[in-house]
């Protein structure tokens, strides 16, 4: 296969709520992946960049004989999506083949979250963290870089409720960002599992970037694999699952609540506000009561407690 000498970047800016849907459409036509980056604005009071809630979504189409056909198909797909929710027109620019990590650096900015967290790309100067808790991430995946509202809300919930000295299970760990945050917040033992085995090397790489190789146990698997463990990490006081609402409902029907000890907290993300009540009802049927709902735009994270209080 001949490597393209140039690419056509197709991009648009949309809300964080729509970014995942746009990225899914882009991925159908971009064989080498999709880039999502958070749009930030300078906060003069905090003297730092803060996320605006908007996302820049880009796809890279090879400049080959099929380009015009691919471009038309992409425009048609985005037009159809735009009939459901308003979207701006696609923007195009030709990009010469180059160091793609260098290209990402032009978009990816540090993200300040919660009371004391900052998510930094791996190339950033660690001094930018100052007295904040740094979470270093290599943005080599479309998701899990801390730019999606659901990931941000899960991080905020973990900070708010804490996990010092407690075991933590991260189901659907993706890039490992939530597991790494748990380590930063002084969790005891941490287990991250993901249905996709290809996620595990990325998790381990990110853990190493945070100077915690071996600190977190990452494995391919689901909540049923967690429940089958015999090393004491089959349940925990803090369990996170940042996935999608329909998947969470299915997991709740097949024992997800058993991964949480009595009195422990289950933090669920990847839920649109229109889906929240269905997840809450499914959780209530499994002895999980709602403690708090965190919301950013159309996305919510649910904090649920199992049984009696600690």
Q: Which of 80, 108, 136 is the last residue of a domain?
A: 108
- Integer Cα distance of 110 and 136 in angstroms: 10
Tell me, yes or no, whether 205 and 75 share the same domain: no
Model confidence over 275-308: pLDDT tens digits?
999 999 999 999 999 999 999 878 899 999 998 5
Tell me, yes or no, whether 156 and 83 share the same domain: no
Tell me, yes or no, whether 99 and 154 share the same domain: no
- Integer Cα distance of 258 and 251 in angstroms: 11
pLDDT of residue 39: 74
With beta carbons less than 8 A apart as the criterion, state whether 220 and 202 touch.
Answer: no
pTM of the model as a whole = 0.71
In a domain, 135, yes or no: no
Q: By CB neighbour count within 10 A (0-12 exposed, 13-18 middle, 19+ buried), where does 1 fall? A: exposed
* Enclosing H/E stretch for 1: none
Tell me, yes or no, whether 198 and 271 share the same domain: yes
Tell me, yes or no, whether 16 and 156 share the same domain: no
Tell me, yes or no, whether 299 and 150 share the same domain: yes
Q: Which of 59, 82, 108 is the last residue of a domain?
A: 108
pLDDT of residue 111: 84
Domains in the chain, number: 2
In a domain, 164, yes or no: yes
Model confidence over 106-158: pLDDT tens digits?
666 788 888 899 998 888 888 888 899 999 988 654 445 677 788 889 999 99
pLDDT of residue 308: 58
Q: Residue 187, Cβ neighbours under 10 Å: how many?
A: 24
The residue written with tokens 């009195």 in the block is: 263
Tell me, yes or no, whether 82 and 160 share the same domain: no
Range in 16-30, 201-215, 264-278 with the lowest mean pLDDT: 16-30
Specify the CATH number for the domain of residue 223.
Answer: 3.40.50.150
Tokens, residue 13: 């800016």
In a domain, 114, yes or no: no
Give residue 95's pLDDT band: very low, low, confident or very high (50, 70, 90).
confident
Edge-to-edge strand ranges of the sheet holding 111-113: 111-113, 117-121, 133-137
Q: Which of 108, 135, 153 is the last residue of a domain?
A: 108
């Amino acid at each position: 296969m001949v490597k393209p000498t140039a690419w056509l970047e197709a991009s648009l800016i949309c809300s964080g709520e729509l970014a995942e849907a746009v990225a899914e459409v882009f991925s159908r036509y971009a064989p080498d992946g999709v880039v999502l980056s958070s749009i930030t604005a300078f906060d003069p009071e905090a003297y730092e960049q803060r996320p605006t809630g908007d996302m820049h979504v880009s796809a890279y189409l090879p400049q080959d004989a099929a380009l015009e056909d691919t471009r038309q198909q992409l425009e048609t797909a985005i037009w159809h999506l735009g009939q459901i929710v308003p979207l701006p027109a696609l923007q195009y620019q030709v990009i010469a083949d180059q160091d793609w990590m260098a290209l990402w650096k032009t978009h990816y900015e540090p993200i300040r979250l919660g009371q004391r967290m900052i998510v930094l790309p791996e190339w950033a100067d660690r001094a930018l963290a100052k007295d904040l808790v740094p979470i270093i991430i290599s943005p080599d995946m479309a998701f899990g870089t801390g730019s999606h509202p659901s990931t941000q809300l899960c991080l905020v919930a973990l900070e708010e409720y804490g996990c010092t000295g407690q075991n933590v299970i991260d189901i659907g760990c993706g890039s490992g960002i939530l597991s790494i945050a748990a380590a930063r917040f002084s969790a005891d033992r941490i287990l991250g599992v993901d249905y996709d085995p290809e996620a595990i090397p990325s998790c381990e790489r990110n853990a190493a970037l945070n100077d915690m190789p071996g600190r977190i146990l990452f494995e391919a698997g689901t909540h049923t694999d967690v429940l089958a463990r015999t090393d004491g990490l089959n349940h925990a006081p803090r369990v996170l699952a940042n996935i999608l609402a329909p998947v969470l409902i299915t997991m709740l029907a097949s024992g997800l609540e058993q991964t949480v000890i009595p009195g422990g907290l289950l933090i669920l993300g990847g839920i649109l506000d229109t889906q929240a009540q269905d997840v809450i009802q499914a959780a209530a049927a499994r002895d999980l009561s709602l403690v708090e709902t965190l919301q950013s735009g159309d996305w919510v994270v649910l904090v649920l407690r199992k049984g009696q209080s600690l």
